[in-house]
């Protein structure tokens, strides 16, 4: 099944913007009118200039951002949070009426975006995560006050090309970022620590990496393909099946629970949420 999207502009095709771009270039995705992208340097722009991609650099063309959005129905804002408002002021006068502007930046509210753009333009906030690079991302979406159901459906179709999409009220988008946005780092950190535990048991680092990374990959795939339980209950049931009563796994899981793993994750996510709010306030 082919996903068809309207002309799309990505302003700031860095890490996350670049991941979305790669999703748009997949064979099962068609973008009517092609994709326009901008970067600051010509070196970065040149690397993306091929096929249906029009790639512009602001260092050689100061009007690159404005040129990229003319005629675009979808406009993704991939610059750093402190640059978003200035960029919106720059492109606002040339955006088509009915254009949908979607921010990838943390901490910039839809109200702030709407205030910087013409009333004929709708906005949404998005929070994709890094597994989007391999088509297995999770993206949070929040609608602005001017966006319609059709706008939300269009944005959902866009981000579906790089993974799953969760629609939440804007009041929850920052909290979502502490789970799915920061979550890959938590997983990588757990992998690091379990590898160190394996080394402490006498395994080589190569053996530890094979065991731990293979186990995480296999467990994730087992969870993803489990169809006998609701998604929210599957982790608990799969853990139960591994945990024999009175066995070694039960003893290990008890140690993790007694060590306050749940409370530790709660503190970590609250710390991330507090920092997100500080960033939004410019601190």
Residue 95 belongs to some domain of the structure:
yes
> Is residue 34 assigned to a domain?
yes
**Is residue 223, in this structure, part of any structural domain at all?**
yes
Q: Given 147, 173, 199, which residue is the final one in a domain?
A: 173
Q: How far, in Å, are 174, 207, 208, 210 from residue 102 at the CA level?
A: 16, 44, 42, 39
Q: Which of 125, 155, 173 is the last residue of a domain?
A: 173
Q: What is the pLDDT of residue 146?
A: 95
Q: Are 19 and 40 contained in the same domain? A: yes
Do 264 and 165 touch, CB atoms closer than 8 A? Answer: no
> Looking at residue 68, what is its pLDDT?
97
Which of 173, 191, 207 is the C-terminal boundary of a domain? 173
249 in the same domain as 169? no
- Are 164 and 52 members of one domain? yes
Local confidence band at 278 (pLDDT 50, 70, 90 cut-offs):
confident
User: Are residues 216 and 126 located together in one domain of the fold?
Assistant: no
Domain that holds residue 229: 183-280
- Indicate if 156 and 273 belong to the same structural domain: no
Q: Examine residue 18 and state whether it is found in any structural domain, yes or no.
A: yes
Asked if residue 235 and residue 134 are part of one domain, the reply reads: no
Instruction: Provide the residue count of the chain.
Output: 283
Predicted confidence (pLDDT) per residue in 216-271, tens digit: 999 999 999 987 677 788 999 999 999 999 999 999 999 999 999 999 999 999 99
Count of domains for the chain: 2
Q: Are residues 148 and 83 in the same domain?
A: yes
| Domain match, 127 and 189 both | no
Tell me the per-residue pLDDT of 34-87, one tens digit each, with 9 for 90 and over: 999 999 999 999 999 888 899 999 999 999 999 999 999 999 999 998 899 999
Residue 178 belongs to a domain: no
Same domain, 96 and 198: no
Among 50, 62, 58, 46, residue whose Cα is nearest residue 24:
50
Residues 204 and 236 in one domain: yes
Do 12 and 128 fall within a single domain? yes
**pLDDT for position 228:** 66
């Amino acid at each position: 099944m082919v996903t068809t999207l309207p002309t799309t502009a990505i302003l700031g095709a860095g890490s996350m913007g670049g991941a979305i771009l790669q999703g748009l270039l997949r064979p099962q995705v068609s973008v009517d009118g092609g994709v326009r992208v901008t970067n600051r340097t010509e070196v970065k722009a040149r690397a993306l200039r091929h096929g249906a991609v029009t790639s512009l650099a602001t260092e050689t063309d100061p009007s690159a951002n404005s040129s990229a959005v003319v005629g675009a129905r979808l406009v993704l804002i991939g610059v750093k949070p402190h640059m978003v408002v200035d960029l919106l002021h720059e492109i606002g006068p040339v955006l088509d009426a009915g254009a949908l502007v979607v921010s990838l930046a943390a901490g910039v509210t839809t109200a702030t975006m709407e205030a910087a753009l013409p009333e004929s333009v709708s906005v949404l906030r998005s929070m994709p995560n890094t597994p989007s690079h391999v088509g297995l991302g999770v993206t949070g979406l929040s609608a602005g006050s001017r966006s319609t159901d059709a706008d939300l459906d269009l944005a959902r179709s866009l981000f579906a090309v790089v993974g799953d999409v969760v629609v939440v009220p804007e009041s929850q988008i920052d909290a979502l970022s502490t789970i799915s946005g920061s979550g890959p780092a938590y997983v990588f950190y757990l992998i690091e620590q379990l590898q160190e535990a394996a080394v402490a048991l006498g395994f080589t680092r190569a053996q530890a990496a094979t065991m731990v990374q293979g186990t995480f990959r296999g467990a994730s795939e087992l969870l993803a393909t489990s169809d006998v339980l609701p998604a929210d209950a599957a982790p608990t049931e799969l853990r139960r099946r591994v945990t024999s009563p009175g066995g070694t796994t039960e003893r290990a899981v008890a140690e993790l629970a007694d060590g306050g793993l749940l409370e530790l994750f709660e503190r970590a996510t609250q710390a991330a949420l507090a920092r997100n709010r500080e960033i939004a306030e410019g601190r």
